[in-house]
């Protein structure tokens, strides 16, 4: 069988290409970290040329795509796309950039990272970082159904047939559901599952679908849960799978390769000059494949010589691969002295397709060579390099001042990403946010966090600093994989930074204001259409609300229209429960400002009673509403007037939030632990032992039940801050509340340096 060769290189995206679709031989659709979705059409097939049109341009990364096939209602089909703004955009492919979407699907509470569509075009299934998979009926856009049971990010979804959905999750489970929402079975996978694909009927293996993920193995499964094959070859995370018309498989991953599989064997390895190949798709018409990678490029490969690119273009791709740099940390420890020289390449053949061999060249460089079975030779796929860097500086980043702003080099020749860090953040939280914001591989998390620690030695959570971006004057730049890089430091290294007690109130204050306002308008119109004029807003109300949200977006607390704030409170507490979420979301953004908060909490406004009596903390309330209401309560402690109300109303608030201490909803439990941190900070200035002990008892329950690392960390910080109130609290925590056991359980569940650090401080307090 002929090898795939380059057919075309599609240039236009300005950042990583995260998802591609290949619905027909003349159409490619792509989504990128540059906030756009593009449709590529082919004006010429000989030579193969492609032109693109931008169909959506948002304000956040777009991560996932799915194509709804044509129907009588949508004769051109639909493009569904989702990403970091948590909204699924659904639109007809012929609509221009300025046209409204056919639907905006609201429901996810975090990054939408997976989409698929049933082959009959009747439903869309989505997965997100909010630990939810959702089912949406095409054309009936108002509601979605949550597929229950996920306990971590849902990285992959597969609309297997008109009655069956399969999900792949970071909790290492593959779940099979009926479209009614009933879970049929759960399959334990060895590691995080990041990709799924359907296999054709009567596949030679007997399998019905394939999965892949962090263990770098493609696995073939039956719907009954039986594994029938393992395909080994990749050397790092596998991000994407696609099936060829002949039943072969194609996989793409963080080892820079796309691999082609036939009869459970890797028959071709296509190396890209990039850090990662994020996505691959196959054309059902002609069997060509398309890839998207971290170098911003889309590449089409074909087995048909008539669709091959020119010999010069193919040679250029090979040269680009050969000249690419491979960070040493991605290939593990190398003992250069024991590596074979170039003579090895002439003396030995590879044992399998895609095998990698390190060679010590005559100039003392280390090169990576990959065995090509088809060519019968070793192909140079890059030079292994150290990740040394230089050149960080203190800057104002995105209109805000930070104690540190480091440069992060992701790729040679590519502008560095900015890593902002304030001393009132913990390093893991800053590292996680940096990776989330930039959609980087999760494998960078520990390395980024360690870099922050090493370059902020002596700084303490909650304290400020007058030092510049690099306290030692050496200018630091971090390059992912550089785990051992340390900034130049004084000869006597400072003591490790202390975390406890937390001294600053933590805000939850980021949001997409324009999207929230648009959803408020949509819901208001729906309420009017339902005849609910008693709670709906008139056009002048909507205009006033828009001015309020605009002022909040600009960070101008004094310019916030207070009548608009009243409208938000009304929508958050009186609108139908299924339409309150955007109002609650906007309200928590308002509550970080002094003036509007003083207005909201004034006795005559009765805001807190209205919120507590709205049913948002009762059993039937949508979990996202409850989560957002807890975020509102947490942000209430950002201002003096808000803290006064939060203190006065503690005995009202506490019994309403306590039932959620063991929630498995990640966003809800993080909101709750943030609220507990802020109450702990408040109690450092108030003498109320009963409240402190009550919160410690609650935190003990959270530590015993929570599994998410961020929730555990925040619960530990709140616990340690309360124990810092004095020896009496430590004694009660140790002897009455069994805090020590809860802390030990937390440490056992979450193996992270930040957890170990704060646990060590808590133990010191309990033993003192």
pLDDT at 561: 86
Query: How many whole angstroms separate alpha carbon 534 and alpha carbon 430?
Result: 45
Peptide bond into 501 cis (omega under 30): yes
476 has pLDDT over 50: no
pLDDT digits (tens, 9 = 90+) for 408-420: 766 655 667 888 8
pTM recorded for the entire structure: 0.55
Which CATH number is associated with domain 60-188? 2.130.10.10
Cα–chain center distance at 176: 23
Bin 90: left if φ > 0, else alpha if -120 < ψ < 50, else beta: beta
pLDDT digits (tens, 9 = 90+) for 662-692: 998 888 999 999 999 999 999 998 878 999 9
pLDDT at 330: 60
pLDDT at 488: 25
On the CB side of 555, CA atoms within 13 Å amount to 5
763 has pLDDT over 60: yes
Query: Which residues are within 8 A (CB) of 453 and not within 5 positions of it... i.e. 6 or more apart?
Result: 427, 497, 753
Query: How many whole angstroms separate alpha carbon 272 and alpha carbon 258?
Result: 8
Neighbours of 376 (CB within 10 A): 9
What sign results for the dihedral spanned by CA atoms 713, 719, 723, 725?
positive
Q: How far from 166 is each of 110, 726, 758, CA to CA, in Å?
A: 20, 52, 39
State the architecture of 396-478 in CATH terms: Roll (3.10)
pLDDT at 412: 55
Query: How many whole angstroms separate alpha carbon 622 and alpha carbon 665?
Result: 12
Buried b (16+ CB within 10 A) or exposed e, 71-80: eeebeebbbb
pLDDT digits (tens, 9 = 90+) for 138-153: 999 878 999 999 998 9
Of the listed ranges 462-476, 535-549, 617-631, the least confidently predicted one is 462-476
Confidence at 459, pLDDT banded by 50, 70, 90 = very low
Find the farthest-apart pair of alpha carbons in the chain and give their distance in angstroms, rounded: 87
Looking at the chain, the domain(s) classified CATH 3.10.20.870 span 396-478
403 has pLDDT over 70: no
Burial class (CB in 10 A: 0-12, 13-18, 19+), 54: middle
Q: What is the dihedral of CA 571, 577, 582, 588, to 10 degrees?
A: 70
Query: Which residues are within 8 A (CB) of 416 and not within 5 positions of it... i.e. 6 or more apart?
Result: 407, 408, 409, 410, 477
The residue ranges of DSSP E strands in 450-540, in sequence order, are 477-478
Query: Which residues are within 8 A (CB) of 30 and not within 5 positions of it... i.e. 6 or more apart?
Result: 10, 13, 17, 19, 20, 21, 37, 38, 40, 52, 65, 292, 298
645 has pLDDT over 60: yes
396 has pLDDT over 60: no
For the chain, how are helix, strand and coil distributed in percent, rounded to 5?
35, 30, 40
45 has pLDDT over 80: no
pLDDT at 409: 67
pLDDT at 158: 98
The backbone torsions φ and ψ at residue 285, rounded to the nearest 5 degrees and listed phi first, read -80, -45
Q: Which two tokens stand for residue 377?
A: 């030779």
pLDDT at 614: 92
Q: How far from 740 is each of 496, 499, 676, 736, 759, CA to CA, in Å?
A: 23, 18, 18, 10, 9
Q: Which residue has the tokens 């998390």?
A: 445
Looking at the chain, the domain(s) classified CATH 2.130.10.10 span 60-188
Confidence at 737, pLDDT banded by 50, 70, 90 = confident
- Is 385 strand, coil or helix? strand
Q: Which residue has the tokens 């995260």?
A: 18
Query: Which residues are within 8 A (CB) of 113 and not within 5 positions of it... i.e. 6 or more apart?
Result: 63, 64, 82, 127, 128, 129, 153, 154, 155
Q: Which two tokens stand for residue 549?
A: 């949200």
The backbone torsions φ and ψ at residue 766, rounded to the nearest 5 degrees and listed phi first, read -65, -30
Mean pLDDT of 517-527: 93
The residue among 678, 620, 685, 681 whose CA lies nearest residue 653 is 678
Confidence at 443, pLDDT banded by 50, 70, 90 = low
Q: Which two tokens stand for residue 547?
A: 């001015």
Whether 369 contacts 384, CB under 8 Å: no
Q: How far from 478 is each of 414, 433, 489, CA to CA, in Å?
A: 14, 16, 15
Mean pLDDT of 607-632: 91
The residue among 654, 643, 667, 640 whose CA lies nearest residue 612 is 654
Whether 76 contacts 63, CB under 8 Å: no
Q: Work out the end-to-end distance of the chain between its first and last CA atoms, rounded to an integer number of angstroms.
A: 72
Q: Which has more confidence, 194 or 492? A: 194
582 has pLDDT over 90: yes
pLDDT digits (tens, 9 = 90+) for 245-276: 999 999 999 889 999 999 999 999 999 998 88
Of the listed ranges 2-6, 214-218, 357-361, 402-406, the least confidently predicted one is 402-406
pLDDT at 490: 27
Query: How many whole angstroms separate alpha carbon 456 and alpha carbon 403?
Result: 10
pLDDT digits (tens, 9 = 90+) for 273-303: 988 899 999 999 999 999 999 889 999 999 9
Mean pLDDT of 632-659: 93
368 has pLDDT over 50: yes
Q: How far from 405 is each of 8, 170, 279, 394, 478, CA to CA, in Å?
A: 39, 31, 31, 5, 11
- What is the SS3 string spanning 522-551? HHHHHHHHCCCCCCCCCHHHHHHHHHHHHH
462 has pLDDT over 50: no
Of the listed ranges 419-433, 521-535, 718-732, the least confidently predicted one is 419-433
């Amino acid at each position: 069988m002929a090898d795939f060769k380059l057919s075309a290189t599609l240039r236009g995206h300005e950042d990583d290409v995260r998802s591609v679709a290949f619905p027909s031989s003349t159409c490619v659709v792509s989504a990128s970290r540059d906030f756009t979705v593009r449709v590529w059409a082919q004006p010429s097939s000989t030579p193969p040329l492609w032109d693109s049109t931008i169909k959506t341009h948002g304000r956040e990364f777009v991560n996932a795509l799915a194509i709804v096939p044509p129907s009588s209602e949508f004769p051109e089909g639909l493009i569904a796309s989702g990403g970091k703004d948590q909204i699924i955009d659904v639109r007809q492919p012929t609509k221009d950039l300025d046209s409204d979407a056919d639907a905006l699907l609201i429901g996810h509470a975090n990054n939408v990272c997976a989409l698929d569509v049933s082959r009959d075009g009747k439903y869309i299934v989505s997965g997100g970082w909010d630990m939810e998979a959702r089912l949406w009926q095409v054309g009936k856009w108002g509601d979605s159904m949550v597929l229950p049971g996920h306990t971590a990010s849902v990285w992959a979804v597969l609309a297997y047939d008109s009655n069956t959905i399969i999900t792949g999750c970071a909790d290492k489970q593959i779940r099979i559901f009926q479209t009614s929402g009933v879970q049929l079975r759960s399959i334990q996978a060895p590691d995080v599952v990041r990709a799924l694909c359907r296999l054709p009927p009567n596949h030679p293996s007997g399998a019905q679908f394939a999965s892949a993920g962090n263990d770098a193995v493609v696995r073939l499964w039956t719907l009954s849960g039986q594994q029938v094959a393992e395909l080994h070859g990749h050397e790092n995370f596998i991000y994407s799978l696609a099936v060829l018309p002949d039943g072969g498989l194609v996989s793409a991953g963080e080892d820079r390769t796309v691999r082609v599989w036939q009869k459970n064997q890797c028959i071709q390895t296509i190396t890209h000059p990039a850090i990662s190949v994020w996505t691959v798709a196959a054309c059902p018409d002609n069997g060509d494949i398309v890839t998207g990678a971290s170098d911003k490029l889309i590449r089409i490969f074909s087995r048909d010589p008539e669709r091959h690119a020119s010999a010069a273009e193919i040679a250029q791709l090979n040269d680009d691969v050969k000249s690419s740099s491979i960070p040493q940390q991605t290939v593990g420890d190398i003992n250069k002295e024991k590596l074979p020289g170039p003579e090895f390449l002439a003396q030995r053949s590879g044992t399998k397709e895609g095998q990698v061999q390190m060679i010590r060249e005559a100039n003392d460089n280390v090169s990576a060579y990959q065995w090509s079975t088809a060519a019968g030779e070793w192909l140079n796929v890059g030079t292994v390099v150290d990740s040394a860097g230089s050149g960080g500086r203190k800057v104002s980043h995105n209109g805000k001042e930070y104690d540190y702003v480091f440069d992060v080099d992701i790729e040679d020749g590519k502008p560095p990403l900015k890593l902002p860090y304030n001393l009132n953040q913990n390093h893991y939280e800053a590292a996680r946010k940096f990776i989330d914001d930039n959609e980087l591989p999760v494998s960078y998390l520990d390395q980024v966090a360690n870099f922050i620690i090493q370059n902020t030695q002596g700084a303490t959570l909650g304290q400020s600093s007058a030092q510049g971006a690099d306290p030692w004057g050496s200018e630091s730049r971090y390059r992912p994989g550089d785990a051992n890089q340390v900034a130049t430091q004084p000869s006597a290294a400072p003591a490790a930074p202390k975390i406890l007690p937390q001294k600053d109130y933590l805000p939850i204050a980021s949001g997409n204001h324009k999207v929230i306002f648009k959803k408020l308008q949509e819901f208001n119109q729906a309420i009017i259409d339902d005849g609910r004029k008693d709670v709906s807003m008139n056009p002048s109300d909507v205009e006033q609300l828009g001015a309020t949200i605009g002022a909040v977006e600009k960070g101008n607390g004094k310019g916030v229209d207070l009548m608009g704030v009243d409208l938000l409170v009304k929508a958050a507490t009186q609108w139908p429960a299924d339409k309150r979420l955007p109002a609650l979301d906007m309200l928590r953004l308002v509550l970080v400002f002094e003036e509007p908060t003083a207005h909201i909490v004034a006795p005559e406004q009765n805001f807190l009673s209205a919120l507590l009596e709205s049913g948002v903390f009762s059993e039937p309330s949508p979990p996202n509403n409850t989560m957002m209401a807890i975020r509102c309560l947490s942000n209430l402690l950002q201002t003096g007037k808000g803290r006064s109300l939060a203190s006065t109303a503690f005995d009202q608030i506490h019994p309403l939030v306590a039932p959620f201490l063991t929630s498995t909803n990640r966003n809800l439990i993080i909101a709750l632990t943030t609220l507990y941190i802020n109450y702990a900070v408040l109690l450092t200035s108030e003498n109320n032992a009963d409240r402190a002990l009550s919160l410690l008892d609650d935190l003990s329950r959270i530590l015993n039940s929570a599994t998410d690392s961020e929730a555990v960390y925040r619960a530990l910080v709140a616990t340690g801050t309360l124990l810092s109130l004095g020896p009496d609290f430590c004694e009660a925590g140790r002897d009455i509340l069994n805090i020590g056991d809860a802390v030990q359980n937390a440490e056992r569940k979450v193996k992270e340096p930040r957890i170990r650090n704060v646990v060590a401080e808590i133990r010191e307090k309990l033993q003192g």
